[in-house]
């Protein structure tokens, strides 16, 4: 059976070149970067080279990059780190209703510790308004966290505008850029962010490694303890091969990005047009300001989960929303925040592309989709078109 | 080294002999392990949380790995939590228990010779209002059971003791400690940091009456960046961070799948050959010690006779350990002065201090740690170079 992987927002296939770069650091140059002998120093050098590549891709300085076990940890270090460090200044945090759970749950945990959290609404496209951010900032606001691009509906947030507001008001600004790296230009100065999280496995790097950009002078309190690695911000023996993989992957993802992105966009638009040709469907998220690889549609009268399983039988891997909560029966918090009703939210499907996809694969998806929808609708008790 | 010779990727390695004797700091990934990782990275790359076939396949790989590792700890599949390594697992165990149970008590017990990840987690808890007893050790590095008995209180939440010390190889009497804890403070939980022993000595939650056990992949020829905390079912724990349903919400974030698959592969190999490997390591250690004693006068071995078979700590009076490390590096021999995480700090080893060594003695100490990949020929070569280096450095010291 042919295999079409359209779940690249959940995770991506490792790039072959990334694997080639990682392998020597597993088998031959396996020293512990903290060791003072040359075996350790070679591993250290590899970590520092990856740090330079990561910094270069973001327009940052190498010493502003902290490697983590992934974006969830990076988001937690950023949010809880700032909250704990600025305890004396205030206890107010601003975020949005459509953030990743790593951000929302970290904020929720802080709420239980006595912090005040403002969760800003979004419009029907999943967009937060910079004016709302400005209005929400109070004297005791210590942090604003707004994602760069949404993982479910692909909406690209006005982060640069929000960054400008935060800087004017003297508030630290964090952005979760997990979905954006390799898809949009991500420059920490253009975006005016103080903290930025990313994850390697979203841009053809390995799972289990991510990074947090921390602008020079930004105060963070450590919450994991042990060795002196990552300037004590993130102790533990470095995942050297993973870090090397991140460095290579971010270099590949951000080199020649425009050509890759325009190809992906063309496939995305074809996919959207084809899916919307099916009656009673709608596109979720912003029509223009959206990630080049994101398609999120609602198919009325059909359960998203049934569509996933039917497509899976045809060798097509897609999802209904974010992977991390796919086990739960609750409808997507993102779609609900955008004002979708329960039924429409439940009938949503996310198809996310990468440079590995081909136009032929898109044609294949579009060739099987109408039949799947028709068959599921025929079984649906709520479908009015039923005889 | 077998791998370097086989693949020869780095130019320098082709010319110079390489003897890696720093296996307590980290180890080489075995080819079989790398092959398992490659499969997960390039073929079975799904996200285990995804509903489609690729997600289901990833979930299956993860749970198979979970079963192997949990059973290796003497527990059940659902009791194991994957982490980014031993440091995180230790933090999760110590802080997770303390924070979750703070209404029941505020007292913890550990030893003065633990890994920094346990010691600093305890210090952080002290700042949060907990009190911590740091038990002393005897001259061999073994925790004093009388001190433990005295320290155990009714409201003690957790006792955290390592199985094998990373600097000296000293084996702690964890079964006796477990018995004592459950006898004197039945409500206290018992955590064992088994990072240095897992895959080398028997690890048994049942025999130790342990509630939590930390293990790490990169000490047993698995990859860096992956570890696990075994937690007996029902043991309460607060997560270190938040954000997803992975690992029962106790450790959110997309799983390090290649790391997990590599960890399980490494454990499978280590466990299948455990007694053979242990016997081989014991032979290497004996061979090494005999050769060192024959070649170099006036040395002290800090590791007790009954220490784990893969770690030897030796003091070479009159020599600076750090200088000796660099001297040996010139000959392609890699050893360390103590734990790797400590090697960039100036302060003397807290482990050897607790064992009653003087700062001067500590400064003159090296750690040699073996793996089954080492050979007697490598050790012969090492002793030869070690003898020359020590003699040379001692002559220099005397001249001053």
**A356-374 pLDDT, tens digit each:** 999 999 999 999 999 999 9
What pLDDT was estimated at residue B13?
44
Q: Specify the DSSP class assigned to residue A122.
A: -
Question: Count of alpha carbons within 13 Å of A261, Cβ hemisphere only?
Answer: 17
What pLDDT was estimated at residue B159?
98
Please name the residues between 286 and 315 in chain A that touch chain B, using a CB distance below 8 Å: 305, 308-309, 311-312
Q: Is A340 in contact with A307 (CB distance < 8 Å)?
A: no
- Specify which residues A316 forms β-bridges with: A4
- Look at B120 and A235 and tell me if their CB atoms are within 8 Å: yes
- Look at B245 and A328 and tell me if their CB atoms are within 8 Å: yes
Q: Please give the average per-residue pLDDT across B140-157, as a whole number.
A: 96
- Does residue A211 carry a pLDDT above 50? yes
- Contacts within 8 Å (CB) and 24+ apart, A375-380: A375/A310, A376/A302, A376/A303, A376/A306, A376/A307, A376/A310, A377/A301, A377/A302, A380/A301, A380/A302
For residue B327, the chain A residue with the least C-alpha distance is A37
Q: Please give the average per-residue pLDDT across B134-146, as a whole number.
A: 97
With a CB cutoff of 8 Å and minimum separation 6, the contacts of A189 are: A59
Cβ-based neighbour number of residue A120 at 10 Å? 19
- Does residue B10 carry a pLDDT above 60? no
- Does residue B110 carry a pLDDT above 90? yes
Confidence grade of residue B4 (pLDDT, cut at 50, 70, 90): very low
**Distance (Å, rounded) from C-alpha B118 to C-alpha B99?**
15
- Look at A239 and B10 and tell me if their CB atoms are within 8 Å: no
Task: Name residue, tokens 């993130």.
Answer: A234
Instruction: Provide the b/e sequence for B370-382 (b: ≥16 CB within 10 Å).
Output: bbbebeeebbebb
Confidence grade of residue B2 (pLDDT, cut at 50, 70, 90): very low
Crossing angle of helices B274-295/B257-272, nearest 10°?
A: 80
CA torsion sign, A94 to A96 to A102 to A104? Answer: positive
Tokens of B92: 């999760």
Task: Please give, rounded to a whole number of angstroms, the shortest distance from the CA of A382 to a CA of chain B.
Answer: 24
- Does residue B343 carry a pLDDT above 70? no
Cβ-based neighbour number of residue A168 at 10 Å? 11
What pLDDT was estimated at residue B205?
98
Compare B342 and A24 and report the one with higher pLDDT: A24
Confidence grade of residue B399 (pLDDT, cut at 50, 70, 90): low
Per CB-CB distance under 8 Å, the chain B contacts of A212 are: none
- Specify which residues A211 forms β-bridges with: A67, A198
The H-or-E segment that residue A57 falls in is: helix A38-58
- Active-site residue, A166 included: no
**Distance (Å, rounded) from C-alpha A324 to C-alpha A309?**
17
Q: Chain-centre distance of CA B195, in angstroms?
A: 3
Asked if A119 reaches chain B (Cβ–Cβ under 8 Å), the answer is no
**Distance (Å, rounded) from C-alpha A315 to C-alpha A307?**
12
Q: Please give the average per-residue pLDDT across A214-221, as a whole number.
A: 94
Asked if A240 reaches chain B (Cβ–Cβ under 8 Å), the answer is yes
SS3 B319: coil
- The domain segmentation of chain B, as residue ranges, is 2-21+274-399, 72-243
For residue A317, the chain B residue with the least C-alpha distance is B52
- Does residue B95 carry a pLDDT above 90? yes
Tokens of B106: 């505020």
Per CB-CB distance under 8 Å, the chain A contacts of B241 are: 72-73, 76-77, 80, 102, 106, 223
- Class in CATH terms, B2-21+274-399: alpha beta
Nearest to A75 by CA among A223, A270, A291: A223
Crossing angle of helices B31-42/A16-27, nearest 10°?
A: 160
- Does residue A150 carry a pLDDT above 70? yes
Catalytic residue among A324, A378, A379, A382: A324
Q: Please give the average per-residue pLDDT across A17-36, as a whole number.
A: 92
What pLDDT was estimated at residue B400?
57
Cβ-based neighbour number of residue A113 at 10 Å? 11
Beta strands B189-193; B227-231: pairing state? unpaired
Share of chain B above pLDDT 70, in %: 94
Nearest to A325 by CA among A101, A121, A108: A101
**Distance (Å, rounded) from C-alpha B374 to C-alpha B353?**
30
Least confident residue range of A213-222, A231-240, A256-265, B48-57 = A231-240
User: What mean pLDDT value characterizes chain A?
Assistant: 94
**Distance (Å, rounded) from C-alpha B306 to C-alpha B131?**
33
Task: Please give, rounded to a whole number of angstroms, the shortest distance from the CA of B56 to a CA of chain A.
Answer: 11
Q: Please give the average per-residue pLDDT across B101-119, as a whole number.
A: 97
CA torsion sign, A35 to A41 to A43 to A48? Answer: positive
Please name the residues between 113 and 172 in chain B that touch chain A, using a CB distance below 8 Å: 115-117, 120-121, 123-124
Tens-place pLDDT, residues A153-165:
999 999 999 999 9
Asked if A10 reaches chain B (Cβ–Cβ under 8 Å), the answer is yes
Per CB-CB distance under 8 Å, the chain B contacts of A224 are: 87-88, 91, 240
* Complex confidence, ipTM: 0.89
Instruction: Provide the b/e sequence for A256-266 (b: ≥16 CB within 10 Å).
Output: ebeebbebbbe
SS in 3 state form for B320-355?
CHHHHHHHHHHCCEECECCCHHHCCCCCCCHHHHHC
Per CB-CB distance under 8 Å, the chain B contacts of A311 are: 52
Asked if A201 reaches chain B (Cβ–Cβ under 8 Å), the answer is yes
- Look at A242 and B344 and tell me if their CB atoms are within 8 Å: no
What pLDDT was estimated at residue B245?
84
Asked if A207 reaches chain B (Cβ–Cβ under 8 Å), the answer is yes
Share of chain B above pLDDT 90, in %: 89
Rounded to 5°, angle at Cα B60 from B55 and B61: 100
Task: Name residue, tokens 């913890």.
Answer: B108
**Distance (Å, rounded) from C-alpha B47 to C-alpha A321?**
13
CA torsion sign, A377 to A379 to A383 to A385? Answer: positive
- Does residue B81 carry a pLDDT above 90? yes
Furthest-apart CA atoms within chain A: distance in Å: 77
Q: Is A129 in contact with A368 (CB distance < 8 Å)?
A: no
Nearest to A231 by CA among A218, A244, A250: A218
The helices-and-strands tally (H runs, E runs) of chain B is 15, 12
Beta strands B156-162; B107-111: pairing state? parallel
- Does residue A314 carry a pLDDT above 60? yes
Q: Which of A40, A208, A223 sits opposite B259 (nearest CB)?
A: A208
Q: Which of B47, B340, B342 sits opposite A10 (nearest CB)?
A: B47
User: What mean pLDDT value characterizes chain B?
Assistant: 93
Confidence grade of residue B338 (pLDDT, cut at 50, 70, 90): confident
- Does residue B346 carry a pLDDT above 90? no
With a CB cutoff of 8 Å and minimum separation 6, the contacts of A101 are: A322, A324, A325, B242, B243, B244, B252
**Distance (Å, rounded) from C-alpha B26 to C-alpha B220?**
8
**Distance (Å, rounded) from C-alpha A326 to C-alpha A330?**
9
Task: Please give, rounded to a whole number of angstroms, the shortest distance from the CA of A145 to a CA of chain B.
Answer: 14
Q: Please give the average per-residue pLDDT across A36-42, as a whole number.
A: 86
What pLDDT was estimated at residue A329?
64
Cα dihedral B56→B60→B63→B64 (10° resolution): -170
What pLDDT was estimated at residue A323?
55
- Specify which residues B212 forms β-bridges with: B191, B231
Nearest to A241 by CA among B40, B52, B313, B82: B40
Q: Is B231 in contact with B81 (CB distance < 8 Å)?
A: yes
Concatenated DSSP letters of B110-162: EETTS-HHHHHHHHHHHHTT-EEEEE-B-TTS-B-HHHHHHH--TTEEEEEEE
Tens-place pLDDT, residues A53-87:
999 999 999 999 999 999 999 999 999 999 999 99
Confidence grade of residue A234 (pLDDT, cut at 50, 70, 90): confident
- Does residue B8 carry a pLDDT above 50? no
Task: Please give, rounded to a whole number of angstroms, the shortest distance from the CA of A387 to a CA of chain B.
Answer: 32
**Distance (Å, rounded) from C-alpha A76 to C-alpha A54?**
20
**Distance (Å, rounded) from C-alpha B205 to C-alpha B211?**
7
What are the φ and ψ backbone dihedral angles of B369, each rounded to 5 degrees? -130, 130
Q: Which of B123, B218, B226 sits opposite A208 (nearest CB)?
A: B226
- Specify which residues B158 forms β-bridges with: B108, B189
Confidence grade of residue B74 (pLDDT, cut at 50, 70, 90): very high
Per CB-CB distance under 8 Å, the chain A contacts of B335 are: 37
- Look at A34 and B54 and tell me if their CB atoms are within 8 Å: no
Cβ-based neighbour number of residue A305 at 10 Å? 16
What pLDDT was estimated at residue B7?
42
What pLDDT was estimated at residue B293?
97
Q: Please give the average per-residue pLDDT across B390-397, as a whole number.
A: 92
Interface test with chain B among A29, A35, A152, A174, by most B beta carbons within 10 Å? A35
User: Could you tell me which CATH number the domain at B72-243 has?
Assistant: 3.40.640.10
Compare A368 and A2 and report the one with higher pLDDT: A368
Q: Specify the DSSP class assigned to residue B253.
A: S
């Amino acid at each position: 059976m042919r295999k079409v992987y359209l779940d690249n927002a959940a995770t991506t296939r490792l790039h072959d070149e990334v694997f080639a770069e990682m392998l020597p650091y597993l088998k031959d140059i396996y020293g512990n970067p903290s060791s003072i002998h040359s075996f350790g120093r070679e591993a250290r050098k590899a970590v520092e080279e990856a740090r330079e590549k990561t910094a270069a891709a973001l327009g940052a300085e190498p010493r502003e990059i902290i490697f983590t076990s992934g974006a969830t940890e990076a988001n937690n270090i950023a949010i809880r780190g700032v909250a704990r460090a600025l305890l004396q200044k205030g206890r107010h945090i601003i975020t949005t209703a459509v953030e990743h759970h790593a951000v929302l749950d970290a904020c929720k945990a802080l709420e239980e510790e006595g912090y005040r959290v403002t969760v800003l609404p979004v419009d029907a496209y999943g967009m937060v308004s910079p004016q709302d951010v400005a209005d929400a900032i109070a004297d005791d606001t210590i942090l604003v966290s707004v994602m760069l691009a949404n993982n479910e509906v692909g909406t690209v947030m006005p982060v640069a505008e929000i960054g400008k507001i935060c800087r004017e008001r003297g508030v630290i600004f964090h952005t979760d850029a997990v979905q954006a790296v390799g898809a949009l230009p991500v420059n920490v100065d253009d975006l005016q962010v103080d903290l930025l999280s990313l994850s390697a496995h979203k841009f053809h790097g390995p799972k289990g490694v991510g990074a947090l950009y921390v602008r020079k002078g930004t105060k963070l309190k450590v919450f994991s303890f042990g060795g002196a690695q990552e300037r004590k911000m993130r102790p533990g023996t470095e995942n050297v091969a993973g870090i090397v993989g991140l460095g290579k992957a971010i270099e590949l993802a951000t080199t020649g990005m425009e050509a890759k992105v325009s190809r992906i966009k063309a496939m995305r638009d074809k996919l959207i047009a084809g899916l919307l040709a099916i009656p009673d469907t709608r596109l979720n998220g912003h029509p223009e300001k959206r990630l080049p690889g994101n398609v999120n549609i609602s198919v009325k009268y059909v359960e998203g989960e049934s569509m996933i399983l039917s497509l899976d039988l045809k060798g097509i891997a897609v999802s209904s929303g974010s992977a991390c909560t796919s086990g739960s029966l609750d409808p997507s918090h993102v779609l609900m925040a955008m004002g979708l009703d329960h039924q429409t939210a439940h009938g949503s499907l996310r198809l996310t592309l990468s440079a590995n996809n081909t136009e032929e694969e898109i044609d294949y998806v579009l060739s099987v989709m109408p039949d799947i929808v028709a068959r599921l609708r025929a079984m649906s008790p709520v479908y009015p078109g039923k005889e | 080294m077998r791998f370097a010779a086989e693949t020869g990727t780095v130019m320098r390695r082709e010319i110079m002999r390489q003897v890696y004797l720093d296996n307590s700091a980290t180890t080489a990934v075995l080819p079989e392990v790398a092959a398992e990782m490659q499969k997960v990275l390039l073929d079975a790359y799904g996200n285990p949380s995804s509903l489609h076939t690729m997600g289901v396949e990833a979930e299956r790989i993860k749970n198979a790995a979970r079963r192997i590792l949990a059973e290796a700890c003497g527990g059940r599949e659902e009791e194991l939590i994957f982490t980014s390594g031993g440091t995180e697992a230790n933090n999760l165990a110590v802080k997770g228990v303390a924070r979750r149970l703070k209404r029941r008590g505020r007292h913890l017990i550990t030893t003065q010779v633990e890994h920094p990840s346990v010691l600093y987690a305890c210090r952080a808890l002290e700042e949060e209002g907990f009190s911590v007893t740091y038990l002393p050790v005897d001259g061999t590095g073994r925790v004093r059971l009388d001190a433990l008995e005295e320290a155990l209180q009714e409201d003690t939440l957790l006792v955290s003791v390592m199985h094998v010390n990373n600097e000296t190889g000293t084996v702690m009497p964890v079964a006796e400690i477990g018995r004592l804890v459950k006898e004197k403070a039945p409500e206290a939980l018992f955590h064992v940091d088994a990072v240095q022993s897992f895959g080398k000595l028997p690890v048994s939650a049942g025999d130790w009456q342990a509630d939590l056990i930390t293990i790490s992949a990169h000490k047993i020829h698995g990859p860096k960046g992956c570890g696990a905390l075994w937690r007996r079912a029902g043991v309460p724990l607060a997560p270190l961070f938040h954000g997803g349903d992975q690992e029962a919400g106790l450790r959110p974030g997309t799983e390090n799948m290649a790391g997990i698959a590599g960890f399980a592969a490494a454990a499978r190999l280590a466990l299948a050959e455990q007694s053979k490997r242990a016997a081989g390591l014991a032979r290497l250690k004996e061979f090494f010690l005999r050769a060192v004693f024959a070649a170099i006068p006036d040395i002290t071995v800090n590791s007790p006779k009954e220490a784990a078979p893969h770690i030897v700590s030796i003091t070479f009076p009159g020599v600076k350990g750090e200088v000796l490390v660099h001297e040996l590096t010139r000959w392609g021999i890699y050893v360390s002065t103590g734990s790797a995480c400590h090697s960039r700090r100036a302060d003397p080893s807290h482990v050897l201090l607790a064992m009653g060594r003087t700062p001067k003695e500590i400064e003159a100490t090296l750690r040699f740690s073996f793996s089954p990949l080492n050979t007697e020929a490598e050790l012969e070569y090492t002793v030869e170079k070690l003898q020359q280096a020590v003699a040379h450095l001692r002559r220099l010291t005397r001249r001053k």
